[in-house]
Every structure is written in structure tokens, then in C-alpha cells.
Structure 1
């Protein structure tokens, strides 16, 4: 028996899961449009906008092609090609690793930082819409989205993210969230999508 399509409006009418997936797909389209609007102003691509934004905020140890590839679920070759373009525009420079001549980290130039601060505004319309929701609904949505991301991680759809649910310090106690690093229960709103203290679970 052929499985009904998620994108069939008649099927969606009686299937809540399909409506949720369709809504998420619409949101992904919104991000794509917003990214392109910013990217075309500087003659770069959406992924290059995201790379500039990443390099503006993440610590030096994570500013490598390997970490960028994992973060954006792309191959190292694709990320390297994207970096070459923004490097040729003078937005990014490479810094050699003193301990390993084969490795390097990526850093924004002064011009790169200026551009990054401008293009990262692409997400502001989304931010404003979410901020209009009551705080408890924002927290509930965060919980649900982190759970969805975790399922996608487990099914190897996207690479494991550096979030609470994937961290060795995290434990779910009934309906409560507990962090063993700070030895405290976390409110839903305190859960992190990206945590600087993230550690992979012990194998």
C-alpha cells in the first residue's frame, strides 16, 4: 500500500504530524528566502552568510573546516569551497596551528566582521515573531524542537548537535531536565541549542 504524501493537502487535513512537517518545511523556506536576501547584497551564497555568522561568535577551537562541516551538515570539500570565495573577498584569513602545520583555524578580517554583523540580521524577522509568543510557549517550543533535533541526530539525518539533550552532563528525570555539570535542574527555557560546555557522552 502506497504511503500518503506529507505534502498532500487532503492527507494533511486529517494528519497532524503531516501538518507539523509541512509547517516546518515552510519555515525552512522562510530561512532560505531571508538568507538569499542578505547574501545577494555581498555577492556570496547563503552558506557563506552562515559561515561568516559562525566565525563571528564561536571560539577559536571550533573555527575549523571540520567543525564547520559538522555544524552545517556538509562535507569538508563543500565548506572549503565556500571558504575560498569569502577568503578571496578579504572576509576571512587562515591562522596556522603552531602544533600541527597541516591544520589551521579560520578568522574574520576587520571587513569580514563588519559584513558578518550586517548579514547575521537575516534572522531578525524570525526572532521578532518568536519573541511575540508568551514565555511559556517559547520554552515549550524549545523543548519540542530540541527533541525533534535529537531524533534526527539518532537517525543520522543530521550530525549530532552540541545541545543539552546530546551532552554527557544532561539527564532527563521524569519531566525534569538535569545538568550534572552545574548539579541543578534546568527550566525548559534554560536548555541550550549550543552549549560551550558541551561534552560528548562516554562510549
Structure 2
């Protein structure tokens, strides 16, 4: 290869110089803030979830709301849930929840019984057939697993921490029901082992765990005293 050819190849592989554009002239500076980009991304994921839930629900002869109710009742056993609790957890009106439950009763998937905790109250529980259908509805969002696996382990941990912060804020604003998260549980002891990859401690099972193990919906969750929960949250964020 002669020197002329080598020079030409070198020119082709050299990185282009950054254009000499003034800060005020850079078009990216005039674009929307990163918060808007994140919001658009979340909206797209939400649309994907909504579309998939309608598709899966239709195949099972359900509506998405009916499927969500079945999924809510999976781990409730004989205790079930009151109608007001269902409406609160799904952030829907009592009338919407009532219509969905009535339809599920007609389909033989749920039943209304006297609450074991309060015989004056009505509890909504799954039938045997409903338990089987609920297991199927709980997997509606599994199609997203492949996309989550596109993230590295470190990215997944960061993403989970971000989700927890967002969900907690939405809960404080009363825009979603209170999730049974580790960070709001009385058994949560944040950063008890600061120099470990499992810095937190769960007093319920007496074991350490890391950020990657933080739960958003734990069946054993017991809400901490508000003041203690606030202190734990601040300590969790401090590390």
C-alpha cells in the first residue's frame, strides 16, 4: 500500500471534529429537558402494557380491570378484599370496581363471603376456577421481561431505585394506592451494613439484602410508623 492510500484510509477513520457551534446556537439546548424524555418513554411503556393487557384479557373473556382484580386476590386467600380496598388499589371508582366484581361473580371466578375479620363486611375471594385464571392474568406483563434483560445488572438496580422513588412520591400525592414496599415497612433497616453489597436488613426474616432485592409488593409488608418510615427513607437515600 503506497503512502497516498494510507493517508486516505487514515482520513476515513479519524473521528470528525466537534462542530464549532456556540452554546446558545446548539439545537440540543433548545430541546425539551431530560424529564420530558423520560416521561415520553414511560408513556410508551404504559401504552405497551395497556395494549397487551387488552389483548390478553380479550383472549380470556375479561376486561383489563377484571384481570387486575383477579391478580390482586391471588395472595389474599380466604381473607379476600373488600370492594373499597379493590377500588383503592386499582385507583378506580367504587362503581367501576363493583361492576367488574359483579361480572366476575357471574363468570364464576370470584365469590362474595362474610369477612373473617368482620362478619358484618363482605369479602371478595377467588373461586377455584378464579385461582387458575388469576395465575394466568398475573403473567400478562411478562412480555416486558426481555426488555428489562436488555439492561445490565447495575442498570437494573439503578432503574429499580428510581422506580421506588417515583412510586413513593405518587403515593404521597395520593395518586396511586400505597404499595407494600420494603422502604415503607416496619421491618426495613436501611444501610445497617454500609460496607457490604447487602447493606440493608429485614428484621422479619433476620437477613441482609441489597438494593437489587428491594420489593415493590411484599405479602409480609407491615406499614412502619410514619415518622420512622420518614427517617428510614432519609437514611436509605443518604448512602
TM-score above 0.5, yes or no = yes
Name the structure 1 match of 2:57: 39
In structure 2, stretches of 5+ residues that fail to align are 1-27, 227-239
* C-alpha deviation, 1:180, in angstroms: 4.4
Distance 2:30 2:223 in 1: 38
Shift of 1:117: 2.9
Distance 1:159 1:119 in 2: 20
- In 2, the alpha carbon distance for the partners of 1:153 and 1:166 equals 11
Separation of aligned partners in 2, 1:117 and 1:197: 20
Q: Which has the larger radius of gyration?
A: 2
Distance (Å, rounded) in 1 between the aligned partners of 2:37 and 2:64: 27
- The answer on 1:145 being equivalent to 2:163 is yes
Kindly report which structure 2 residues correspond to 1:21-36, keeping only aligned pairs within 5 A, or say none: 21-36=39-54
Contact 2:110 2:125 in 1 (8 A): yes
Partner of 1:193: 216
CA distance in 2, matches of 1:19, 1:12: 13
Shift of 1:32: 0.5
Q: Does 1:124 align with 2:147?
A: no
Contact 2:66 2:104 in 1 (8 A): yes
Matched residue SS, 1:192: coil
In angstroms, what is the RMSD of aligned CA positions?
2.7
**TM-aligned CA deviation for residue 99 of structure 1:** 5.7
Q: Which residue does the alignment assign to 2:123?
A: 105
Aligned counterparts of 2:65 and 2:42: Cα–Cα separation in 1: 20
Structure 1 length-normalised TM: 0.81
- TM-score normalised to structure 2 length: 0.70
Q: In 1, are the aligned partners of 2:89 and 2:176 still within 8 Å (CA)?
A: no
Alignment of 1:1-203 (within 5 A): 13-61=31-79, 63-98=81-116, 100-173=118-191, 177-182=200-205, 185-203=208-226
- Partner SS state of residue 194, structure 1: coil
CA 1:179 to 1:118, structure 2 compared with 1: closer, same or farther past 3 Å? Answer: closer
Aligned-pair CA distance for 1:147: 0.9
Q: Partners in 2 of 1:117 and 1:186 — Cα distance?
A: 28
